[in-house]
Amino acid sequence: MEMSYEELLAHIFKRFPSVQGNGFTPGAYKPGLEHMQLFDEVLGHPSRAFKSIHVAGTNGKGSVSNMLASALTSCGYKVGLFTSPHLIDFRERARIGGEMIPKEYVYDFLKTWLPWIQNHDLSFFEITTGLAFKWFADEQVDAAVIEVGLGGRLDSTNILEKPELCIVTSIGLDHMALLGNTVPEIAAEKAGIFKPSVPALIGEKDPETLPVFEEKAYLFCPLHYAADERPSLWNRSPKILAEMDLLAEVQAENLRTVLVAVDLLKDTFERLQDADAVADGIIHTARNMDFRGRWERLSAQPYVIADIGHNAHALRYNFAQLERYVNEGRFSSLIIVYGIMADKDLDAILPLMPVDATYIFASPDTNRALPASELLRRFNEYRRKEGLPSRSYFSGSVREAVQMATQLALNLSTQLNRSASAQQPAPPLIYIGGSAFVVAEALPLFK
């Protein structure tokens, strides 16, 4: 009996474990390009059929990829976008003009290639890379923005032979078991996407990584640092930033990278000369690309923000922004719904967590998650050691944690309203984060 779309997709998830769902278990991560190159060959080399922009980095690569795709789309190009992980629907990984890959295409592709895929024991990410590249080629996109899955040098997407531009957004300590234990070692892996004569753009200028990028690019490819460039739209950047529907303060750094990238791409994509179209595309990135979970406001009453930042490099910015919100009086208090994967460096994150917040720890529905009870224990242990207050609870699920946080916020608002003078009191703020899994389970709970 022939499998349905849902059954076939469930089989793929079960038969070919992903890093997203299973971490670095055997079979989930297969470094090296041999299998991907062979798959690309039997598919007819779709990786050579479109112009591409290749984007790597520890943090910011999803935002930069989506902003670039939105800018190109706004200028009238047919643009493919390949990103990971997905939050709710597998098809989020491949889009053209913001529209997800059709179920019918996914079904036909998997049904056709499943025997070959099984015979060659591909990884989940190799399958999805081949699927996206073939769809982009069949649809004859003008350009495709391709986000690296993990690292760069050995990532499946690195079969791209001659992109128009290679971008490395930032370098932080994440996935150290595979990429290296130091920032320079990880930078070397990310710089593995550099190609001969292809311009390389570095988003974050860090003294630790400068020698690595200089060595990798020496007599090899033109190297640019966003911090050293003054992009043609720089005078308009404050207005763009103020109007952007990507609300995190860290987007200021990503915006500069994107604006420099636009200048570097103008010779290839002449319509990027249209400054108004570029600005409009960047401003409406979240709307145009249906880009979710990046400092996304899920509710106004109570006020809820969700963000998938999951490592110390990203959370340093997020937690600092939350504290500024409260210190500036925009919100009266902070409630944080938080969950984390067991393989993340919690010891590096604990010192960054806002002191004057109430925490509700949750365990998302994945075997990769650190149990909420263990997270609570380690949090309290750290706070006791440092002599810090610890208003913390744990719940059995993300849904329960969100319900607890919402009720707590409503109770606090009621108390504030009763005790307030004529002036409307600032409301509490709920932040949901720590993991893409936590955010993915929270999104459907809000309209």
Q: Three-state DSSP class for 242?
A: helix
Q: Do 169 and 60 form a contact (C-beta atoms < 8 A)?
A: yes
85: cis peptide before it, omega within 30°?
Answer: yes
pLDDT of residue 430: 97
Please tell me the distance from the alpha carbon of residue 414 to that of residue 427, in angstroms, as a whole number: 10
Amino acid at 100: M
| Start-to-end CA span in the chain (Å) | 38
Nearest to 86 by CA among 371, 290, 344, 365: 290
Predicted confidence at residue 31, as pLDDT, reads 66
Note if the bond before 302 is cis, omega within 30 degrees.
yes
225 - beta bridge partners?
A: 202
The whole-number pLDDT of residue 418 equals: 75
In terms of Cβ atoms closer than 10 Å to its own Cβ (0-12, 13-18, 19+), residue 311 is buried
How many CA atoms lie within 13 Å of 25's alpha carbon, on the beta-carbon side?
Answer: 13
DSSP state, residue 270: G
At residue 29, the pLDDT reads 54
Q: What is the pLDDT of residue 177?
A: 54
| Low-confidence stretches of the chain (pLDDT beneath 70) | 1, 17-31, 173-181, 420-423
pLDDT for 389 equals 87
C-beta of residue 429 within 8 angstroms of C-beta of residue 322: yes
Could you give the CA distance from residue 330 to residue 311 in angstroms, rounded to a whole number?
Answer: 26
